[in-house]
Structure 1
Amino acid sequence: MRLKMLTGLSGPLFNLAPGDEHDFEADEAERLKAAGYAVDAEPEVKAPAKKKGKADVVSDNDSGSGIDGAGQS
């Protein structure tokens, strides 16, 4: 269970400051919450991935896209 620490807590496996988030086993998490050391952490909200769209390309006959690439065909 992921908790957000309200106080500092350290042990042989971790050193946590107020505001740190850490995963604890369920029984340890309940004990820490009951003692006022931690609260449930907010679930991470992931921003939707930005989709890469195609570039807006506008071309015409004079855009330099001729056979030799210099605008002359």
Structure 2
Amino acid sequence: MKLNDRPYENWHEGLTIRGVMDYMHFTWPKLVVKVNGQLVWPEDYGNVVLKEDDDLKIHHLLGGG
């Protein structure tokens, strides 16, 4: 599995997006999450089980002005 274009070494059967976020300490309030280019809504982070060949992207939004 890849996380933000880098190999993710802690993949295991049953791993969810929420599991990755907890392990990596991703706690930002506004995130954009995609699996294989498909947007995933926050309410689904604990339900989407990742496969070994998935490409997960997690980006936090920044504001400015």
Same-fold status (TM-score > 0.5): no
Q: Flag the structure with higher helix content.
A: 2
Give the greater-gyration-radius structure (CA). 1
TM-score, normalised to structure 1's length?
0.29
TM-score, with length taken from structure 2:
0.31
